[in-house]
């Protein structure tokens, strides 16, 4: 029942981002897909991960994590990344048509603006420190009861 409500809500209240996710899904229909708590997960070979409503697109895994932050297997980091991206789908449920303005655009700029990338690298700021990302971690952990990316510094 919860999954049916999740899908219904994503397809109505989160229609715009789910429609964009569907279009991206159709472009990557030959990539491997799984389901995660009602979300359609596409495992693609792009450089980054993205969540658009009902659809989650995950990269093979985050890069390097400093040993000072702990030791993580590639599988554990991939699992944590999925929890984080799922948190974005919960943001979509909460914000509906405002998701792209409040989360999508700021998150895209934080991830792709060279100035922000340089700042994160030089100051060793966690990508997940930004409000859109830390909020996604919080929601992902709360709903799945699994660990997300927390404040890991990845490269």
CA distance 63 to 57: 16
Domains of the chain, residue spans = 2-144
Its pTM stands at 0.93
Strand order in the sheet with 33-36: 33-36, 39-43, 55-58, 50-52
pLDDT digit of tens for each residue in the chain (155 aa)?
A: 689 999 999 999 999 999 999 999 999 999 999 999 999 999 999 889 999 999 999 998 666 666 667 778 888 988 999 999 999 999 999 999 999 999 999 999 999 999 999 999 999 899 999 999 999 999 999 999 999 998 888 76
CA dihedral 143, 109, 50, 135 (to 10 degrees): 0
């Amino acid at each position: 029942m919860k999954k049916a409500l999740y899908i219904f809500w994503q397809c109505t209240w989160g229609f715009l981002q789910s429609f964009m996710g569907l279009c991206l899904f159709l472009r990557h229909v030959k990539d491997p897909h799984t389901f995660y708590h009602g979300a359609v997960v596409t495992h693609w070979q792009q450089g980054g991960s993205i969540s658009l409503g009902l659809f989650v697109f995950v990269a093979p895994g985050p890069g390097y994590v400093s040993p000072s932050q702990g030791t993580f297997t590639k599988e554990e980091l991939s699992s944590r990344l999925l929890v984080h991206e799922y948190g974005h789908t919960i943001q979509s449920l909460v914000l509906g048509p405002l998701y792209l303005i409040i989360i999508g655009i700021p998150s895209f700029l934080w991830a792709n603006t060279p100035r922000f990338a340089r700042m994160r690298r030089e100051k060793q700021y966690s990508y997940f420190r930004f409000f859109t990302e830390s909020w996604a971690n919080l929601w992902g952990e709360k709903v799945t009861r699994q660990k997300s990316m927390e404040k890991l510094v990845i490269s």
